[in-house]
C-alpha cells in the first residue's frame, strides 16, 4: 500500500503490484503458492449496486467465500421526513408518505389518514372504506410484483421479471386513472379520498382481476418447482419463529417463519375482518418460504379485491364534516359559512384534539405504523413512521453470516427492502 499525491494535491491510495513473469522460479509452481489461509477479506457491496435494491451498503468480512461478518450501512437517502412533518399540516404530510415506501404509496396514504382520523375522531363513509381496501390491496400487488421481478433478476431468471412488471404497469394504469399519478399518488385526504373512482374504473379493475391470476400461474409454473430457483433459495437465511419475533420482523418475513401475525387479522382496520381471506404461513423461514408466502399473498389480495368490488356501495366518499373536508367550490363562493370553512381549512388547517395514537397497518413489507402526537395545533408535535423494512433489514447480519457471498444477494432480496422507507 502506498500513498501518492496526485496533481490535484489530493491523496490517492493505490496498491503496489509487482508484476513478475510466471516462471518456475517465481514460486507459483512446485508447492510454493502464497499462503492465504486464515486471512479474512473485507468486501464492500454498494451503495451503488443494482442487487442492493437501492442505496444499501454492506461491508462483508469473508473467509474464503463464506461471510463471517456483515455490517450494513444505511442512511444515504435520509431526508428528514419526520422533521419536515412537524412543520406541516396533516393533509400536507400526505405527499411525503408517497415518497417513503414508494412501491406502496397508496397504502401509505391510507395508513397515514387512518392514524390522523383516529386522532381527529372521524368515522369515514362506507364507500370510502371499501375504496381504501381496494387501494391498499392494489398497492400490495404492486409491491409484491416488484419484489418478485427484482428477486428473479437477482437470482438469474429474467422472464418472470418481464411478466410481473407488465402486470404492475396495468395496476399503475388503474391508479393513474384514479389519482392522476402512478407512484406519487397522494390519493387520500383526512376524512376521505382525493376523488371518487372515475366512470368505468371498476370494470377496468374487474378485467385486471380476471387476467392477473393467469400471470401468477405462469410465474408459479416457471419458479416454484424450478430446480435452479429451488436450489438457490431453499435453506438460506433461516429464521426460527422465536428469533423472527425477537428481531421484530413483520409481514411476509415473519409469516414465512411460521408466525401468523397479520395486522389485518389481529388488529383489524377498514373492516378487514369481514373479508374472507387466509394468511399464508411458511414452515422453514428461508428465502424459498418467503417467496411462497408472497406469491400466495398475491392470490389472497385478488380474493379480497374481488369481494371489495362486489360490495362497493354507492354514496359519498368524503365525510360530511366541515372541520376537515373542503366545501365544494360552488358552495365556497356562494355561502358565507362555507367560505369561512374553506378559508380556515386552507389557511390554518384542521386541528385535532390533544392526544397521541399509533395506528399500524399491514403494508406489503410488514407492520407499518404511524405514530402521531398532537398538542392541539394544526401541526403534529411528532410524526413517526414505524418502518417495517428498516427493522427487517436490521436482522440481515444474523441471516447472512455463515452463508456464501452469492447467497447474500438472494437473502437481501428476500427481505424486500425499500431504501426510501428505511432512510426516510
**Residues in region 109-128 near another protein by CB under 8 A:** 118-119, 121, 123
Please report, for residues 147, 236, 399, 415, the alpha-carbon distance to residue 403 in angstroms, rounded to integers and kept in the order given. Answer: 22, 8, 8, 16
Shortest distance (Å) from residue 424 CB to another protein: 8
Q: Quick check: 265 binds another protein (CB under 8 A)?
A: yes
Cβ distance to another protein smaller for residue 290 or 342: 290
Stretch that binds another protein, among 26-34, 80-88, 138-146, 315-323 (CB under 8 A): 80-88
Q: Quick check: 209 binds another protein (CB under 8 A)?
A: no
Q: Quick check: 367 binds another protein (CB under 8 A)?
A: yes
d(CA 138, CA 107): 8
d(CA 410, CA 278): 27
* DSSP-derived 3-state class of residue 383: strand
Non-local (6+) Cβ contacts of 171 within 8 A are: 138, 141, 142, 145, 208
Q: Quick check: 227 binds another protein (CB under 8 A)?
A: yes
Other CB atoms within a 10 A radius of the CB of residue 381 amount to: 13
Cβ distance to another protein smaller for residue 243 or 335: 243
Kindly tell me which residue out of 50, 75, 198, 402 binds another protein, with binding defined by CB under 8 A. Answer: 75
Kindly tell me which residue out of 22, 211, 214, 221 binds another protein, with binding defined by CB under 8 A. Answer: 221
Q: Quick check: 247 binds another protein (CB under 8 A)?
A: yes
Shortest distance (Å) from residue 31 CB to another protein: 28
Q: Quick check: 134 binds another protein (CB under 8 A)?
A: no
Q: Quick check: 78 binds another protein (CB under 8 A)?
A: yes
Non-local (6+) Cβ contacts of 243 within 8 A are: 257, 398
Residues in the interface with another protein (CB under 8 A) total 78
Q: Is 357 within 8 Å of 98 (Cβ atoms)?
A: no
Q: Quick check: 278 binds another protein (CB under 8 A)?
A: yes
Q: Give me the half-sphere count of Cα atoms (radius 13 Å) on the Cβ side of residue 238.
A: 6
Cβ distance to another protein smaller for residue 30 or 158: 158
Residue 300 phi, psi dihedral angles, 5° rounding:
-65, -35
Torsion angle of alpha carbons 119, 122, 127, 131, nearest 10°? -10
Could you say which residues in the range 385-404 bind another protein, by CB under 8 A? Answer: 386, 390-391, 393-395, 398
Shortest distance (Å) from residue 340 CB to another protein: 25
Q: Quick check: 155 binds another protein (CB under 8 A)?
A: no
d(CA 354, CA 170): 43
> 54-71: b or e for each residue (b if 16 or more CB lie within 10 Å)?
bbbbbebebeeeebeebe
Could you say which residues in the range 287-306 bind another protein, by CB under 8 A? Answer: 292, 296
Q: Quick check: 69 binds another protein (CB under 8 A)?
A: yes
Could you say which residues in the range 306-365 bind another protein, by CB under 8 A? Answer: 353, 355-358, 360
Shortest distance (Å) from residue 97 CB to another protein: 17
Amino acid at each position: 500500500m502506498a500513498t501518492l499525491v496526485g496533481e490535484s494535491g489530493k491523496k490517492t491510495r493505490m496498491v503496489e503490484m509487482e508484476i513478475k513473469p510466471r516462471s518456475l522460479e517465481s514460486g507459483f509452481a512446485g508447492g510454493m503458492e502464497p499462503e492465504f489461509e486464515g486471512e479474512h477479506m473485507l468486501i464492500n457491496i454498494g451503495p451503488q449496486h443494482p442487487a442492493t435494491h437501492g442505496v444499501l451498503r454492506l461491508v462483508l468480512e469473508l473467509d474464503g467465500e463464506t461471510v463471517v461478518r456483515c455490517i450494513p450501512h444505511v442512511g444515504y437517502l435520509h431526508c428528514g421526513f419526520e422533521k419536515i412533518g412537524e412543520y406541516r399540516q396533516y393533509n400536507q404530510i400526505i405527499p411525503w408518505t408517497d415518497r417513503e415506501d414508494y412501491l406502496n404509496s397508496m397504502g401509505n396514504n391510507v395508513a397515514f389518514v387512518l392514524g390522523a382520523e383516529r386522532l381527529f375522531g372521524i368515522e369515514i363513509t362506507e364507500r370510502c372504506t371499501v375504496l381504501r381496501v381496494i387501494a391498499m390491496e392494489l398497492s400490495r400487488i404492486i409491491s409484491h410484483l416488484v419484489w418478485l421481478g427484482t428477486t428473479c433478476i437477482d437470482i438469474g431468471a429474467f422472464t418472470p421479471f418481464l411478466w410481473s412488471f407488465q402486470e404492475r404497469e396495468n395496476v399503475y394504469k388503474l391508479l393513474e386513472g384514479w389519482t392522476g399519478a402512478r407512484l406519487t399518488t397522494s390519493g387520500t385526504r383526512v376524512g376521505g379520498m382525493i376523488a371518487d373512482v372515475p366512470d368505468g374504473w371498476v370494470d377496468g379493475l374487474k378485467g385486471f382481476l380476471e387476467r392477473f391470476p393467469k400471470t401468477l400461474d405462469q410465474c408459479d409454473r416457471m419458479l416454484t418447482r424450478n430446480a435452479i430457483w429451488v436450489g438457490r433459495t431453499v435453506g438460506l437465511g433461516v429464521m426460527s419463529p422465536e428469533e423472527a419475533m425477537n428481531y421484530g420482523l413483520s409481514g411476509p418475513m415473519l409469516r414465512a417463519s411460521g408466525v401468523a401475525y397479520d395486522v389485518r387479522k389481529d388488529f383489524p382496520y377498514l373492516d378487514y375482518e369481514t373479508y374472507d381471506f387466509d394468511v399464508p404461513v411458511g414452515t422453514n423461514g428461508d428465502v424459498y418460504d418467503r417467496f411462497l408466502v408472497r406469491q400466495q399473498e398475491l392470490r389472497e389480495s385478488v380474493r379480497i379485491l374481488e369481494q371489495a368490488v362486489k360490495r362497493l356501495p354507492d354514496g359519498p366518499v368524503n365525510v360530511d364534516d366541515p372541520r376537515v373536508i373542503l366545501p365544494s367550490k360552488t358552495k365556497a363562493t356562494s355561502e358565507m359559512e362555507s367560505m369561512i370553512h374553506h378559508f380556515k381549512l386552507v389557511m390554518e388547517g384542521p386541528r385535532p384534539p390533544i392526544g397521541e395514537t399509533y395506528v399500524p397497518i399491514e403494508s406489503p413489507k410488514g407492520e407499518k405504523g404511524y405514530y402521531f402526537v398532537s398538542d392541539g395545533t394544526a401541526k403534529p408535535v411528532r410524526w413517526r413512521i414505524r418502518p417495517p423494512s428498516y427493522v427487517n433489514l436490521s436482522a440481515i447480519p444474523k441471516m447472512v453470516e455463515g452463508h456464501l457471498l452469492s447467497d447474500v444477494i438472494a437473502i437481501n432480496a428476500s427481505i424486500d427492502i425499500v431504501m426510501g422507507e428505511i432512510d426516510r
